[in-house]
Chain A
Amino acid sequence: MGRYVIRRLIQAIPVLLGATLLIFCIVFALPGDPIASLFGDKRPDPAIAEVLREQYHLNDPLLLQYWYYISGVLFRGDFGVNFADVPVSQIMAGKFQITLNLALTALVMEAVIGVGLGLWAALRRGKATDTVILAATLLLISVPTLVTGFVLQLVLGVKLKQWTGADIFPVAGTFAGWRSYLLPGFVLAGVSIAYLTRLTRTSLAETLRSDYIRTATAKGLSRRRVVGRHALRNALIPLITFLGADLGQLMGGAVITETIFNLQGIGNQLFMSVYLREQPVVVGIITVLVLIYILANLVVDLLYAVLDPRIRYE
């Protein structure tokens, strides 16, 4: 297994290079002059601007600039500095933590609520419970995050506090520790919860129709054991892929949620940096996101092999 992990990590290198190069090119193709934006509304002295340009290698060919950057990342773990000489890693630190907390909260909610509801619906197929759950997921999928975000913030955050006097779900910032992440976590997870519910429902329903479930029933096992021991593990396998892929999705897609709940996470930073043309920061953040994505996929593949003995580490 160790060899498999190492091989997978080596395989990830070209992916990382390709993805970062692409981002590098896109970001540098953006209109606007980062040096000019450093000076705000004032016109920079052309001589100073030229010195800065040299210092940040902005006059070198794009590929060479990329090499300076990526060799720093790969060999020194150095993500470079922004145009105010603040190290990018320093800008990212802390912010990634916040977004990671948010994304993991969302992921746990997804796994618990989505899988739970999905299993419940599958076991009550065609009954009222099933219909209600399906309708709820449809609602969750069709309402934009912006709307669910503000509505929940208002109802569960503001109004609930007014009625009960207790600040159960903080509406902004991260001052209340893990509780700060409950509401934004749910908002971020919303659509995924709905999809995962449906996926779980289909997966379990399909598993329950398979031949080995018929065999288990024919062995004289109780319904409980048939579902809990024989069906569940098989039904969960396809969900792992969804959850793993979703971690990347959640981290990258947290901008709206972070804005609504004023969380100083990576989404907010990314948005600001794009706005300010801070190319090194943008590229740095995306490099880390790609890394997380690759790692999440590796974990998914490892989990897959744990759950499904037919899959070997090749």
Chain B
Amino acid sequence: MKKTSADVLPAEGGLGDAPLLAVDNLHVEFHTRAGVVRAVNGVSYTVGPGETLAVLGESGSGKSVTAQAIMGILDMPPAVIPQGEIRFKGTDLLKLSEHDRTQVRGQRIAMIFQDALSALNPVFTVGWQISEMFRVHRGMSKSDAMKKAVELMDRVRIPAAKQRVHDYPHQFSGGMRQRIMIAMSIALDPEVLIADEPTTALDVTVQAQIMELLAELQRESQMGLILITHDLGVVADVADKIAVMYGGRIVENAPVYDIYRAPAHPYTKGLLDSIPRVDQKGHELYAIKGLPPNLLDLPTGCAFHPRCPFRQENCVTDAPPLYEISGTRGSACHYWREVLDGERR
């Protein structure tokens, strides 16, 4: 940890500068009885201070596994990381000792999870759980740490925080629980926050409030935010850039605006076409045909080829690299030009 904090923070804002967090050609495999599950196959993405990266992709595409690899909370075994780097301010986290890694976890890079009810410990009060960060990592006394917990609960706008610190997770509503989760994650001012589908378990109005809260906290603290989500509506509002995952790979990455205007990968295009749109009310919803790839036995060539409407012969044999479309944009499709030029349905 001393190593990492000694490193210079990258200059503010600039996308091209040395990134705060860089995942580089990451591979994660699970060695199971059924065989080797290749969950992540060469993922690269970066996030800078104050920047929000949205990670999209259908279930099983490796979004959470990548995030867990960054946090270092994968169970190893069965998980194995045969290749790749995860650089935090230039230091490869994968090369740190377990002790140093523990110093980064929760303090410099924090994470919130989808289902706050199961993600909070049912037998401890929320105050105990939040203040634990201060007691364990900052050596604060119980009462000081508890005061900090109240402050944090105020900050994430939980009403009557002072009384409610002594309540247990099950005594809160879903939205409030997620706020507690958020309070706990930002306790030590992490530089990167990973939110793995933070609003999926909540109802729509609450979803918006939680996203707003996250965006606000991010503005205040300039943390880098990795937002894993299924919700393309949320993405458009809060993300700066998007990484689309398929079969454990990034198939397209681009600034939000570019992707929404014209996707450069058939899978992204399929995702966008499957959003219900008011102006197309009554039309049948588009859905990408076929099933997600079998990670035990990925298709040859382009993993998307069995489902791709743009497929050509060479797609079956040649795996497309992530073609650079512009300085900030890439697509892992041999025919990205055709897709880019194609009409939005």
Contacts and interface: CB of A to CB of B under 8 A. Distances in A.
Interface of A: 210-212, 214-222, 225, 230, 233-234, 237, 307-310
Nearest to A309: B168
Interface in B104-144: 104-107, 110-111, 113, 115, 118-125, 132-133, 136-137
Contact of B123 (A214, A222, A225, A233): A233
B113 A222 contact: no
A309 B139 CA distance: 27
A307 B123 contact: yes
B121 A217 contact: no
B317 to A, nearest CB: 40
B102 A222 contact: yes
B122 A215 contact: no
Given A212-B121, A219-B105, A234-B121, 11 more contacts: A212-B119, A214-B73, A214-B113, A215-B113, A215-B121, A230-B121, A230-B124, A308-B122, A309-B125, A309-B168, A310-B170
Contact of A220 (B113, B124, B137, B168): B137
Contacts of A216: 121
B71 interface: yes
A218 B106 CA distance: 6
> Which among B105, B121, B133 has the greatest number of chain A C-beta atoms within 10 A?
B121
Nearest to B190: A220
B115 A308 contact: no
Interface of B: 71, 73, 102-107, 110-111, 113, 115, 118-125, 132-133, 136-137, 168, 170, 181, 184
Nearest to B187: A219
A210 B107 CA distance: 22
A220 B102 contact: yes
Contact of B122 (A217, A219, A225, A309): A309
Q: Which 9 A-B pairs have the closest CB atoms?
A: A220-B106, A220-B105, A211-B118, A219-B106, A212-B121, A309-B168, A211-B119, A215-B119, A218-B111
A212 B120 contact: yes
Contact of A234 (B105, B106, B122, B170): B122
Nearest to A233: B123
Contacts of B132: 219, 221
A185 B89 CA distance: 61
Contact of A212 (B105, B107, B118): B118
Nearest to A236: B123
Contacts of A222: 102
B42 to A, nearest CB: 25
24 contacts: A211-B113, A211-B115, A211-B118, A212-B121, A214-B73, A214-B113, A214-B119, A215-B121, A217-B105, A218-B73, A218-B106, A219-B132, A219-B136, A220-B104, A220-B137, A221-B106, A221-B132, A221-B136, A237-B123, A308-B122, A308-B123, A309-B123, A309-B170, A310-B122
B73 A220 contact: no
Contacts of B120: 212, 215
A234 B122 CA distance: 8
A234 B124 CA distance: 10
A184 to B, nearest CB: 36
Contacts of A217: 73, 105
A55 B254 CA distance: 99
B162 to A, nearest CB: 19
Given A212-B118, A214-B73, A309-B168, A219 B133 contact: yes
B110 A218 contact: yes
B331 to A, nearest CB: 32
Nearest to B105: A220
B193 to A, nearest CB: 11
Nearest to A208: B75
Contacts of A309: 122-123, 125, 168, 170
Contacts of A308: 122-123
Contacts of A214: 73, 113, 119
A220 B122 contact: no
B121 A220 contact: no
Contacts of B103: 220
B85 to A, nearest CB: 21
B98 to A, nearest CB: 9
B111 A212 contact: no
Nearest to A209: B75
A127 B337 CA distance: 54
Contacts of A234: 121-123
